[in-house]
A = this chain, B = another copy of it.
Amino acid sequence: MSKSLKEMDVLRQHLAKHQLKLTRQRELILTAFLRQEHVTAETMYHQLAKKDPHLGLATIYRTLNLFCEAGIAQARHFGTQTQYDNISHKGHHDHLICTGCGTIVEFENCEIERLQEEVATKNGFVIQTHRLELYGLCARCRH
């Protein structure tokens, strides 16, 4: 059952801490969300329409924003839309984005992360999160 997932506990804690309630919709959206790397609210709306035709788009937006506050998701403004990334499940990752075809390649680089910490410390900051996006042309689009 999904109730045993680590993220579900994180959500539960966040809800308890802020006097919020665990609803059927929040459970539904969380389990669907955790199955993917990144989604838009619109995407989830269509995906979940099959399971619950009455689930409103506003609820999805509200819930995804809630996940961000709980540290389960991270919002990313891409083009005109907002993408919600699943940071809790696979850990943080960065993006390599093709400006030609829109392909997104994910990557992680410990060395870069280490240098980021260094820069932050040098400036008196303590990093909570970060975002690194490299834009360019993939091999196919270069021809």
Give the contact stretch, choosing among A21-29, A33-41, A57-65, A122-130: A122-130
Find A137's partner among B77, B79, B128, B138 (CB 8 Å cutoff): B128
Find A115's partner among B79, B111, B128, B133 (CB 8 Å cutoff): B111
Q: Which residues of B contact A129 (CB under 8 A)?
A: 135-136
A15 within 8 A of partner (CB) = no
Whether A134 lies near B139 (C-beta < 8 A) is no
**Which positions 66-120 of chain A face chain B at CB distance < 8 Å?**
77-80, 96, 98-99, 105, 107, 109, 111-112, 115-116, 119-120
Q: Give Cα A136–Cα B102 distance, bound, in whole angstroms.
A: 29
Whether B125 lies near A130 (C-beta < 8 A) is no
Whether A137 lies near B125 (C-beta < 8 A) is yes
The chain A residues found within 8 Å of chain B, CB to CB, are: 77-80, 96, 98-99, 105, 107, 109, 111-112, 115-116, 119-120, 123-139, 142
Whether B126 lies near A137 (C-beta < 8 A) is yes
Q: Which residues of B contact A142 (CB under 8 A)?
A: 126
Whether A120 lies near B132 (C-beta < 8 A) is no
